[in-house]
Amino acid sequence: MTQQEEVRAQLAEVRTTLTQEQRERQTSEDQMRDVREQAEAKTADAEEREKRLQSALDGLQAERAKLEKQVASEKAKSEETLATLGGEMSDCTSKKIGADERAVEFEKQWVAESKLRKELHNQLEEMVGNLRVYCRVRPASKTELEGQMAVDVKGADTIVVTDHENDRVDAKKFTFTQVYQPDATQEQVFKDCESLMTSVLDGFNVCIFAYGQSGTGKTFTMDGNDEMPGLVPRAMSRIFEDVANRKTNYQHDCFISMIEIYNETIRDLLRDPKADASKVKFDIMRDNLVGMYVKDRTSEQCHTASHARTLIKSGNVNRKTSSTGLNDQSSRSHMIVTLTVRSRNIKAGDQYVGKLSLVDLAGSERLAKSQTTGQAQKETMAINKSLSALGTVIGALAQGEKHVPYRDSKLTYLLQDSLGGNSKTLMFVNCGPAQANYPETINSLNFASRAKSVALGKATKNREADEPAEGKTGKASTAMAAANKLGNDGGDAAKASARGEGGEKKKVLGAKKR
């Protein structure tokens, strides 16, 4: 190969390489352009996004600034409101304290006013001497709670009775000196009777009796049970407490007797049940000083409340009770506990005789409801007969009739001085709360309403004079003839009284016959 050809070949090679390089360069440039274009597009995109974000950020910042401003202004406002509220609150607190104080003051005044109203009412009742009536509603039993209640106690002196089975009968409203809610305690009930206990020591005749349908709580009210003692044991505790407190100025002699009237027969509950009583007649007698009493019944002298309570408990064991359709422990007799107290004022020498009669009547009931037969039915009929006699006597007294048929039953004859004589007498009307007892409840409350209008007149103390009345040979205390067991004279006096021999009675002041 010539040098020329060699150069030409080299040139062609160089040219080929160049062309190759140019092509590669072109490809690289194309690639670079693509990459640049892509990068530029991305940058533009990023710039666009950045712009959008920036604008959103600006918006958010503006919003934040606005909110911060608002928060600051709200904060300032609430601080201002808080300051005002703080002031108002302390104002309210001081006003509330003032209102509370005034409420306490008003409540005190109200309590004092109610007490005064009650005292005045009691004074008025004492002056007028009406038979006082307290109404006690028994709590509903489990079965009764399943049905409707007919009785609604409103306040401390009103009871409203509604017949849910008869819309045409209006609800009936009754008012009494006291009306107890079903949950009233034995303490509350006794508290309202306490002043009468002092009266006994002051020489008054006091009679408390419980009337009402069978199973409504007469025995619970009078006797109660070991956990919830009733009026009788509480009366004993209170009287003997008073006797102890008055020891320096007074001498008191207390005598207890306890009888029941069962099927129109008087039974001495303190007498040994095994002792022969065939010759003892238990006549009802009248003593000028203490009124009616049962001749020849046991009269135990008592010095302590526990002795009195033990005697009464033993008497209760002898009392007739049985299970009826209305009460598992239904009293089948009227029971009367009598505490006769002679009080002698040691300094002045005055002598008074007070008598406390606590009477737990048998229940008023319809034969059908009592579900009794045979002997028990006879009992029910005797109970109804004597309670109907009591109703007639109360009716006659309420109407101011001249003739009052006390002698129609032993019960009314024995209670003669308590119902129409010189006595402070309180009647409990016991009723059940349930609709099932609606008719009996209305009957009892109607009876009680008539009773509350019976005017006994102002009771006077039974004062025993020191000297016999002119022309009379005073020897023994007739009052203690009633107690039948006082010191040396008691026996004679009992006989004298039983014979009705006025000549042996001491002069009696104050105990007027009505």
Ligand X SMILES: Nc1ncnc2c1ncn2[C@@H]1O[C@H](COP(=O)(O)OP(=O)(O)OP(=O)(O)O)[C@@H](O)[C@H]1O
Residues that bind ligand X (CB under 6 A): 138-139, 212, 214-220, 326-327, 329-331, 362-363, 430
Q: CB of 360: closest distance to Mg ion in angstroms? A: 6
Say how far apart CA 152 and CA 131 lie, in whole Å. Answer: 24
Stretch that binds Mg ion, among 96-104, 128-136, 328-336, 409-417 (CB under 5 A): 328-336
Which 3-state string (H, E, C) describes 364-400?
Answer: ECCHHHHCCCHHHHHHHHHHHHHHHHHHHHHHHHHCC
Kindly tell me which of 178 and 330 has the beta carbon lying closer to ligand X.
330
Q: DSSP letter at 467?
A: S
Alpha-carbon gap, residue 28 to 32, rounded angstroms: 6
Q: How far is CA 285 from CA 278, 334, 403, 494, in A?
A: 19, 18, 20, 10
Say how many residues touch Mg ion, by CB under 5 A.
3
Q: Which is nearer to ligand X, 203 or 217 (CB)?
A: 217
Q: Which residue is nearest to ligand X (CB)?
A: 363
Token pair of 324 as six digits:
């009826």
Using the contact rule CB under 5 A, the part of the chain among 329-337, 405-413, 465-473, 499-507 near Mg ion is 329-337
Residue whose CB is less far from ligand X, 219 or 299: 219
Q: Which does 216 bind (CB under 5 to 8 A by kind): ligand X, Mg ion, none?
A: ligand X
Binder of residue 298, out of Mg ion, ligand X, none (CB less than 5 to 8 A by kind): none
Residue in 162, 331, 357, 370 binding Mg ion, rule: CB under 5 A = 331
Q: How far is the CB of 212 from Mg ion (least distance, A)?
A: 9
Structure tokens at 293: 């009493």
Q: Report the nearest approach of Mg ion to the CB of residue 414 (Å).
A: 18
Cβ distance to ligand X smaller for residue 439 or 503: 439
CB of 397 to ligand X, least distance (A): 23
**Virtual CA dihedral for 59, 61, 62, 68, nearest 10 degrees?**
140
Cβ proximity to Mg ion: between 229 and 457 the closer is 229
By beta-carbon proximity to Mg ion, the closer residue of 365 and 464 is: 365
**Token match 């009679």: residue?**
207
Which residue number, 218 or 234, has a Cβ lying nearer to Mg ion? 218
Nearest Cα to Cα of residue 503 among 488, 492, 514 = 492
- CA angle at 401 for the pair 400 and 403, rounded to the nearest 5°: 140
- Contact partner at residue 212 from Mg ion, ligand X, none, CB < 5 to 8 Å by partner kind: ligand X
Residue 139 near which of ligand X, Mg ion, none (CB within 5-8 Å, type-dependent): ligand X
Residue 324 as a binder of Mg ion (CB under 5 A): the answer is: no
Q: Does 219 bind Mg ion (CB under 5 A)?
A: yes
Give me the count of residues in the chain: 514
- Among 386, 277, 286, 368, which Cα is nearest to 331's? 386
The amino acid at 278:
S
Residue type, 85: L
DSSP code string of 218-272: HHHHHTB-SSSB-HHHHHHHHHHHHHHHTTTTEEEEEEEEEEEEETTEEEETTS-
Residue 329 interaction partner, one of ligand X, Mg ion, none, beta carbon < 5-8 Å per kind: ligand X
Between 81 and 323, CB nearer to Mg ion: 323
Return residues touching Mg ion (CB under 5 A).
218-219, 331
